[in-house]
Amino acid sequence: MNIQTKVTPTQASAHLEKPVWEKVNRLHLRKIIAEFSHERIIIPKLTAEKDGWGHYLLMNKTGEITYSFRAKILALNHWYVDTASQEKHIEGKPATIDALNFIIEFREELGIPDESLPVYLEEVCSTLSGSSYMNFYGKPESRELLNAGYQQTESTMTGHPRFIANNGRIGFDAGDYREYAPETAAPFALVWLAGNRQTAVFSAVSSLEYTQVILQELGEENLKRFNGILTAKKLNPDDYFFIPVHPWQWFNKLSNIFAADIATQQLVCLGYSDDQYLPQQSIRTFFNVSHPEKFYVKTALSVLNMGYVRGLSPKFMMTNPPINEWIYNLVENDSYLQQKRFFILREIASVSFAHRYYESAVGADSHYKKMLACLWRESPVSKITKDQQLITMAALLHVDNEGNAYLPELIRASGLTTSEWLKEYFDCYLSPLLHCFYQWDMVFMPHGENLIMVLENHIPVRAIMKDIGEEVSLLNTAHPVPEAASRLSVTVPEIAKTLPLFTQIFDSIFRFISAILVEHAGFSEKRFWKLVADCILDYQKDHPEFNESYQKYDLFVSEFSPDALNRLQLNNNRQLRNRANPFKDLPYIGNMANPVAPYQHHPADEEYIHHQKE
């Protein structure tokens, strides 16, 4: 049985020491300036250029407060800011760097509503506190991660690269943070409930029955024990579905808000199971460390984190397994994707329990209607050989506490040149995404946390995509879609159809990888984007059947305007996107030069064109 342990008052703040706080504020200000400048929320003024660096000045509305720094502007308006160069002055006098004060000083430029500002500041403060914790207590250096286990690498990551408030976890107290945050948690057990089948709904892929799922996940002893609890209450176990829930969710939400269902035995608390879990980066998904081959468990968790209260919709949970089954079968039956060894990590079963009062009283979408559900996802451990290693793709953007980047260390360990390594990476990551887009009008949300990379000798050989049911869209598709997957179909203006690729891949991943290689390895960003272009052109050469689509949905356009993700969060920090149409009413950054546009032809193509002219 789990016994909740709470930290002492002094332990709760032990990591908040002045030198650490000053360090993380300086690093976070660098990110704030870089990302807000990238989205053109703020416009630094160039004052001088020297030794390849631009010297910039930012001034608040009154002109009393100024920030100066030096930076290089890379492709896609990416601001490579020199951390040590940042200085702040108030009425000409040096002042302390303070990330929270910066947000207050530039609140008009940020356009954040007055009612949202306090919560946004709390999220940023929580993010800074988490960074302080990781810096104070320490984490593995980048070189150590080369041979680390999957879960150790996962727990070392520090959040989304674009969002300023990326680790809010509003709802956790200081003890909860240490128990349940991915970077701090020790293994813990999940609480299990029994939900009466009059309300509880089970859904699964066609090859699975409820009894198979629950026997694997609980084992015979726990199953016998839980059934015994129900029979002791004169209840029939066959009338119930068993549901794992996050301990925090049980103690802080369900035991109170579902009190009527508990009192009438529609819900019965069964206690803890034996298996121990660790949270993933997404905070509400759990990896079974007792039996890594068992399923991941994803649960509803009513904390505010990076733009959403992290619930699970019972309505979506019913259709997630059939959606996953359909997409999985598409991938498995596609010869090109099999050649690339692209893999879908299926969400194979779910149980949900709707709150009858909120369902009847609240017509609109609400996180109160998403408090009790779970989702089981396949484990990636069974998908690799003994010579392979799993890492989260977020690791490619990781910089450790000493300022050393993981990616250059990984490339050095592979024995390949940077160009050779990137070719392998693009081949197993970008090529399948291009194929899904041109073959099926399908786009994923393939950011770092959603991708698991399979490495052999530190070289990428396979990409595993997860989080399928809620983060896949079919854009203006004419292909037949089964009824269960109909909610994936989204209508967007034809001209905007490629924007998810530009936003999610170019702007949210490749922009950062290129910048890390510039800063930490001296690798040419032009060479980087040339390799991206080569990957696209190789795919197009291999698939001439889509030539018309390549013209219509051109990835070599001279410019494009990605989504402005921080503007989304500043506008509404409780719901970034409309789940029904995630591409509707989005703010955009504004046009920027497409870094692959200059490389539309291979050198071989140029030679061929030149020869034809002669």
Beta strand pairing status for 277-279 and 285-288? Answer: antiparallel
Distance from C-alpha of 210 to C-alpha of 202, rounded to nearest angstrom: 7
H/E segment holding residue 413: helix 406-414
Tokens of 474: 């079919």
Distance from C-alpha of 292 to C-alpha of 380, rounded to nearest angstrom: 9
Burial class (CB in 10 A: 0-12, 13-18, 19+), 111: exposed
* DSSP three-state, residue 117: helix
* Residue 225, amino acid: R
Nearest Cα neighbor of 465 from 477, 483, 452 is 452
Predicted confidence at residue 580, as pLDDT, reads 59
H/E segment holding residue 212: helix 210-232
Contact (Cβ atoms closer than 8 angstroms) between residue 126 and residue 167:
yes
Strand partners, 375: 298, 350
Helices (H), 111-188: 117-137, 150-156, 174-180
- In the chain, % of residues over pLDDT 70: 95
Contact (Cβ atoms closer than 8 angstroms) between residue 462 and residue 341:
yes
For residue range 25-84, what is the model confidence (pLDDT) as tens digits?
Answer: 999 999 999 999 999 999 999 999 999 999 999 999 989 999 999 999 999 999 999 999
Predicted confidence at residue 388, as pLDDT, reads 97
What phi and psi, each to the nearest 5 degrees, are found at residue 249? Answer: -65, -40
H/E segment holding residue 460: strand 459-465
**How far is residue 99 from each of residues 67, 75, 115, 363, measured CA to CA in Å?**
12, 26, 20, 39
Predicted confidence at residue 602, as pLDDT, reads 53
For the residues 231-260, what does the mean pLDDT come to? 98
For residue range 566-606, what is the model confidence (pLDDT) as tens digits?
Answer: 999 898 766 666 555 666 668 899 999 999 999 987 544 44
For the residues 283-298, what does the mean pLDDT come to? 95
Tell me the chain's radius of gyration from C-alpha atoms: 25
Q: How many CB atoms lie within 10 A of CB 544?
A: 8
Predicted confidence at residue 470, as pLDDT, reads 84
H/E segment holding residue 344: strand 343-344
Strand partners, 465: 344, 451
Predicted confidence at residue 363, as pLDDT, reads 80
Strand partners, 559: 593
Helices (H), 441-545: 499-501, 511-521, 525-542
Which pLDDT band holds residue 139 (cuts at 50, 70, 90)? very high
**How far is residue 414 from each of residues 258, 485, 487, measured CA to CA in Å?**
53, 40, 42
Predicted confidence at residue 609, as pLDDT, reads 37
Which pLDDT band holds residue 7 (cuts at 50, 70, 90)? confident
* Residue 393 scores a pLDDT above 50: yes
H/E segment holding residue 245: strand 240-245
Contact (Cβ atoms closer than 8 angstroms) between residue 325 and residue 314:
no
Predicted confidence at residue 371, as pLDDT, reads 95
Burial class (CB in 10 A: 0-12, 13-18, 19+), 366: middle
**How far is residue 398 from each of residues 11, 129, 290, 464, 487, measured CA to CA in Å?**
27, 18, 27, 19, 34
Strand partners, 490: 475
* DSSP three-state, residue 175: helix
Q: Give CA torsion, residues 82, 85, 89, 92, to 10 deg.
A: -130
Contact (Cβ atoms closer than 8 angstroms) between residue 478 and residue 444:
no
Predicted confidence at residue 578, as pLDDT, reads 59
Contact (Cβ atoms closer than 8 angstroms) between residue 169 and residue 126:
yes
What phi and psi, each to the nearest 5 degrees, are found at residue 557? Answer: -55, 155
For residue range 443-498, what is the model confidence (pLDDT) as tens digits?
Answer: 999 999 999 999 999 999 999 999 998 889 999 999 999 999 999 999 999 999 99
Predicted confidence at residue 606, as pLDDT, reads 46
DSSP 582: T
Q: How many CB atoms lie within 10 A of CB 50?
A: 8
In this prediction the pTM is 0.94
Strand partners, 593: 559
Distance from C-alpha of 104 to C-alpha of 112, rounded to nearest angstrom: 10
Q: Which residues contact 327 (CB under 8 A, 6 or more apart)?
A: 344, 442, 468, 472, 485
Distance from C-alpha of 351 to C-alpha of 372, rounded to nearest angstrom: 9
Average pLDDT of the chain?
93
Beta strand pairing status for 451-456 and 388-392? Answer: antiparallel
Distance from C-alpha of 392 to C-alpha of 42, rounded to nearest angstrom: 32
- The residue behind tokens 């050649």 is 339
Q: 209-213, 279-283, 395-399: lowest mean pLDDT where?
A: 279-283
For the residues 237-260, what does the mean pLDDT come to? 97
Contact (Cβ atoms closer than 8 angstroms) between residue 308 and residue 168:
no
Distance from C-alpha of 415 to C-alpha of 425, rounded to nearest angstrom: 14
Beta strand pairing status for 53-59 and 592-593? Answer: unpaired
Distance from C-alpha of 595 to C-alpha of 372, rounded to nearest angstrom: 45
Which pLDDT band holds residue 317 (cuts at 50, 70, 90)? very high
Domains of the chain, first to last:
9-141 (3.30.310.280), 187-377 (no CATH), 394-611 (1.10.510.40)
Contact (Cβ atoms closer than 8 angstroms) between residue 586 and residue 565:
no
Distance from C-alpha of 143 to C-alpha of 462, rounded to nearest angstrom: 22
* Residue 364 scores a pLDDT above 90: no
Helices (H), 240-351: 247-249, 255-257, 259-263, 314-332, 335-339
Predicted confidence at residue 575, as pLDDT, reads 65
